[in-house]
Chains A and B, each alone.
Chain A
């Protein structure tokens, strides 16, 4: 049962990822990317990482993709007539991407030896355990993330200004 859900979510993720690349309209690309993100959130739930799935949906589908849509709306790119690469370059890109995928998957052979150390530890992804780890072992990185966000916010506002004095 779980295996079928996994295959369905994987199929959905890969198909909509392809549609992100091949759809002509950038708005359609954003919408297909949201489908990909939702199926990845489903994968997180399959992996018993419920908190991660919730954060993923909130951050990616809720914040980042809205930002993308907003920028596309602001730049008024909602049309199909954008510059495309020549067919020759497109073929080269497809061949290069396909070869990259073959090499990547081929290099992952022999990893079936990975041991599942504690199959009984199904509660690793619950908020209780995750909060313990986050606020005990990763306290400093957690606080550094807030500084990172502050600097990102300042940077975005400065870049977005019309005229720098």
Chain B
């Protein structure tokens, strides 16, 4: 019985707890993207969603005793760093052109 409960948990933390935590963090990221108008805060919420997914990937990797999951998290971090660099450069360009960080000032493509 002890073996059985140990099979579904790492140090006594069940995988479901990590699933729920990641789902909640991801949902908060979605909420932030919907809730705020400041582009920088929206960008930070996207980072939050990326981190929720990373955490879940690392959790699954650790539960399976597999290094591949952690290597993938490493690569996702690399891509996220590149994305942030380019994204913030675009954001600065937007600010130079519109003099605001309001997402609603970018409605030119809206029909």
Is B35 a contact partner of A85 (Cβ separation < 8 A)?
A: yes
Is B65 a contact partner of A121 (Cβ separation < 8 A)?
A: yes
Is B64 a contact partner of A116 (Cβ separation < 8 A)?
A: yes
Is B93 a contact partner of A20 (Cβ separation < 8 A)?
A: no
| Contact A30 to B74, CB < 8 A, known contacts A21-B36, A148-B82 | no
Number of interface residues of A (CB under 8 A): 86
Closest to A138 in B: B71
Is A30 a contact partner of B7 (Cβ separation < 8 A)?
A: no
Q: Which of B14, B75, B78, B90 contacts A159 (CB 8 A)?
A: B90
Q: Which of A30, A108, A159 contacts B44 (CB 8 A)?
A: A30
Please give the distance in Å from B99's CB to the nearest CB on chain A.
Answer: 10
Please give the distance in Å from B40's CB to the nearest CB on chain A.
Answer: 5
Taking residues whose C-beta sits less than 8 angstroms from the other chain, chain B's interface range is 35 or more
Interface secondary structure of A, over-half rule = helix
Please give the distance in Å from A136's CB to the nearest CB on chain B.
Answer: 11
Is A77 a contact partner of B101 (Cβ separation < 8 A)?
A: yes
Q: Beyond A21-B32, A90-B35: 17 further Cβ-contacts under 8 Å?
A: A20-B28, A21-B45, A26-B41, A29-B41, A40-B55, A43-B58, A55-B74, A68-B40, A71-B88, A72-B40, A74-B92, A82-B101, A83-B104, A112-B15, A125-B62, A138-B71, A151-B82
| Residues of A near any B CB (own CB < 8 A) | 2-3, 6, 10, 13-14, 17-18, 20-21, 26, 29-30, 33, 36-37, 40, 43-44, 46-49, 51-52, 55-56, 59-60, 63-64, 67-68, 71-72, 74-75, 77, 82-85, 90, 92-94, 96-98, 100-101, 104-105, 108, 111-112, 114-122, 124-125, 129-130, 132-134, 137-138, 141, 145, 148-149, 151-153, 155-157, 159-160
